[in-house]
Chains A and B, each alone.
Chain A
Amino acid sequence: MVIDRGASIGTAALAAHGLSKRFKKKVALDKVDLAIPAGSVTALVGPNGAGKTTLIRVCMAFERPNAGTVEVDGVDPWKHRSEALRRVGYVPQTPAVYRGLSVEDHLAMARSLHSGFDSDYARRRLDQLGIPLDQRADTLSGGQAAQLGLAVALGTRAKVLLLDEPLANLDPLARREFIQVLLDAVKAEGSTALLSSHIVTDVEDACDRLVILGGGKVRLDCPLEEARQTHRLTEADSPPPGGTAVGSFLGRNGKTIMTLWRLAPGAGPGGDQGTGQGETSEAASLEDVVLGYLAAGRSIGLQLN
């Protein structure tokens, strides 16, 4: 079920209301309403240019919104930056490390900049991963650099973690390690995480909530399980009972057009079922759900001859 955005803003760990951001003529965020419940791990999914990074940057007070508001743990980052940033741990898109500094120096720098930074906690995390503290950051592998960024973010003991495509440049093993460390920390600390990615499979197993962003708008915002349960996929434009068409896209075989349907609440369980017109609908994977909403966002009807 799609959450009631307006009602939940006050209690959400991260909330946006009517948030808009333009870069000259390009609209990056268009009246975005969003509410990320406390304690959740939310996947922020969308193609390149969907507005994921802009949304996170607005939350970090790196960008000023043109309209609307955003609140991090109840604090507007643009009005009360220090207060807001004290509540946020941030992992940037590309592992940002100081080339000349060692891993330990990064922790010392974080300690000198953030009064509540827990060096021991961050150090333990890095020890567990076998990352030497005296190694220069510019000699770390991509995965290790990402882990260093995560350790610094976790060391702040922030209530909200914002991770801007941290998995994009990692190999599969490093991705799995990164996600595991993140999940362990979130579970232990009870914090909230917003993990952006343009690769659905990266976040499928890690997150319990899904936000699909496309063309600067929120296309879907619901728990992950609900996204799976309430969407069906068919090969033709024959709706399953109680289904509303979301969007059509090219199937995995590259030949057939698949249509994603959204079922009305309580319309029926997942699994294969008849559509009533001789067609069979199948359960939609998370990737199918994302593709369907992104296709709808582009408003381009795919057709094959």
Chain B
Amino acid sequence: MLSRIRLTFKQHRFETLAVTIVCVGLTAAALIEAFRLNSLNVPLSCLQSYQGSFVDPSQGPITAAQAHCNELAKSFSDMKGSLDMNLVQLLLLLVPLLTGIVVGAPLVAREIEQGTAPLSWALSGSRRRWLLGKVLAGVLLLASLMLAVGLAANVLEGALNPGLNPYNSFSNYLGRGVIDVFWALAAFAGTFALGTLFGRTMPAVVIALVVCFFVRGVWDAGMTHYVLRPFAIEQVLPDQPQQGYVAYGPGSGFADMFVYSKSYIDGKEATDAQVNDWYQQNMVCVPTPTQSASASPADSSSPSASSSPGPQATPGNPNMGVACQTPTIDPSHFPQQIQYVLPGSWYWQTVAMESGVLLLGSLFCGAIAFVWVDRRRPY
């Protein structure tokens, strides 16, 4: 089997070499970017207090220490938003899929295209054993390279979010760590299965690209709704009586991952429409200075606001607007939103679950290839 693996690498030397160069280069680039960020030595407090170019006049004059702090934080922010940093981050997301496709597509398809499959299949009593040797070579190559890329991506993530433990946070967790290995293996298995079905390399590559990026696009929604939901932990937000956008989720930079939310009115589960109805019925619109009108939770010009009970604005007064505010109701009766989140401490369990789903998908695609290779013609 070792001989088969060695010969598979030699047979696909172009793909092996190209994938190795890209992955080693990307690993090095990620580590260099992380080193550059870390070498700025920006204190965490500077990053937390840094507000970009905005200067709050109420804070009084800036001290030299604060100015230095701001300068450091600005350098950090600039580096974080630089082109090369964004390019490396983009490649960290794409490379696992692309390498899987590049290695997987020619595995069987090229043998059929170049007419070498009859030679191998005539020699090997078992086509599945023949395929196993080739697949093992691909798995070994991708697993080792992707592990290096994933670990480098973890180091970079730690540098991008100082104070955040990458192994205890869902920030960009789908593009780093061991899950990279499983993304690559899933793309690899899907592509060599397509290559086995079609017996042609290019169609396998094109379809694999479409399928892989579609799956990657719907992955977050699918996982949160169907896989992770039962494990989410309730998190009541008493200070946010209104519905609001919560910036949890993959890529948000937050440690916890927002999975889904539910709204309640007086202890009963309510839909978004019911919550909106509640606000329309219980809001009171009063004349207020114009600038405060824009801060109200509902649009003052909307028909629902103007039809709400309570004092109406004087149309002839240009300095007054209409603001709709909730009447004096006991806050415990406000619609309440409960968020269900996975705490950062669930990182490993979540990665294991998602890797497991990817592994199952890989095994399914692999099984199709192993069944089909036994049935198909070698030309």
Contacts and interface: CB of A to CB of B under 8 A. Distances in A.
Interface stretch (A93-101, A186-194, A216-224, A251-259): A93-101
B1 interface: yes
A164 to B, nearest CB: 9
Contacts of B318: none
A152 B3 contact: no
Contacts of A85: 122-125
Nearest to A110: B123
Report, as a range, how many residues of chain B touch the other chain: 20 to 34
B133 A100 contact: no
A99 B7 contact: no
B111 to A, nearest CB: 9
Interface stretch (B113-121, B283-291, B354-362): B113-121
A149 B1 CA distance: 22
A156 B122 CA distance: 10
A90 interface: yes
Given A100-B13, A101-B11, A105-B7, A113 B124 contact: yes
Contact of A152 (B123, B129, B377): B123
A299 interface: no
B127 to A, nearest CB: 8
B75 interface: no
Contacts of B118: 60, 62, 90, 92, 96
A113 B129 CA distance: 8
Contact of B116 (A60, A96, A114): A96
Contact of B120 (A62, A100, A113): A113
B125 A82 contact: yes
A98 B123 contact: no
Contacts of B119: 90, 92, 96-97, 149, 152
A88 interface: yes
Interface residues of A, number: 31
A303 interface: no
B4 interface: yes
Contact of A62 (B7, B116, B378): B378
Contact of A112 (B7, B115, B116, B126): B7
Given A92-B118, A156-B123, A112 B4 contact: yes
B10 interface: yes
A154 to B, nearest CB: 12
B198 interface: no
Contacts of A88: 122
A89 B11 CA distance: 23
A85 B116 CA distance: 16
Nearest to A80: B125
16 contacts: A62-B121, A62-B378, A82-B125, A82-B126, A85-B123, A85-B125, A89-B122, A90-B122, A92-B118, A94-B115, A96-B114, A96-B116, A97-B116, A100-B13, A111-B3, A156-B123
Ranked 4 nearest A-B pairs via Cβ: A82-B125, A90-B122, A113-B124, A113-B123
Interface of B: 1, 3-4, 7, 10-13, 114-116, 118-126, 129-130, 133, 377-379
Given A85-B124, A96-B114, A117-B123, 14 more contacts: A60-B122, A62-B118, A63-B377, A81-B125, A85-B125, A90-B119, A92-B115, A99-B114, A101-B7, A105-B7, A108-B3, A112-B133, A113-B120, A113-B130
